């Protein structure tokens, strides 16, 4: 898989959160998708399978009270790393910075691990 193909999938993933459009996730998740979220500490939560991952991410993407800002994206073959900021209010402490480490399989998002600065 080329870096450009991977970048397109990750851009669509990020747009789901930026545009508050969970529908953008439906065609880019693999059936065996798995994700690990950073919270609650120390180990976060794990979600396995298309339905679980779609449900988890859809809840975040559909939340119009949050703003997702992409800082940078790196791609290398079927892998990508995205640095981001998530804001949920106007206060100086109403945000968190984090990173997602993604792996694609056959052009679909197969793994995503999210980490935040704590």
pLDDT at 118 over 80: no
Rg for the chain (alpha carbons), in Å? Answer: 13
pLDDT value of position 111: 98
pLDDT value of position 55: 98
Alpha-carbon dihedral sign for residues 1, 34, 60, 115: negative
Mean pLDDT of 23-32: 98
Q: Which domain holds residue 30?
A: 3-116
Q: Which two tokens stand for residue 75?
A: 């791609």
Considering the chain, what is the average pLDDT of its residues?
Answer: 96
Write the CATH number for 44: 3.10.450.50
Hey, which residues does 108 pair with through a beta bridge?
A: 105
Q: Binning pLDDT at 50, 70 and 90, where does residue 9 land?
A: very high
Task: State whether residue 29 is helix, strand or coil.
Answer: strand
The least confident of 35-44, 48-57, 70-79 is 35-44
pTM as predicted: 0.94
Q: Work out how many domains the chain is built from and give that number.
A: 1
Q: Which two tokens stand for residue 101?
A: 């480490």
Q: Binning pLDDT at 50, 70 and 90, where does residue 75 land?
A: very high
């Amino acid at each position: 898989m080329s870096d450009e193909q991977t970048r397109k999938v990750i851009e669509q993933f990020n747009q789901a959160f930026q545009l508050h459009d969970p529908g953008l996730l439906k065609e880019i998740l693999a059936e065996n998708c798995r994700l690990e979220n950073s919270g609650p500490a120390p180990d976060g939560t794990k979600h396995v399978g298309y339905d679980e991952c779609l449900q988890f991410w859809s809840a975040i993407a559909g939340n119009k009270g949050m703003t997702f800002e992409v800082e940078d994206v790196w791609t290398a073959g079927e892998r990508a790393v995205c640095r981001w900021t998530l804001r949920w209010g106007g206060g100086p402490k109403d945000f968190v910075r984090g990173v997602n480490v993604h792996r694609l399989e056959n052009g679909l998002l197969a793994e995503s691990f999210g980490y935040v600065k704590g």
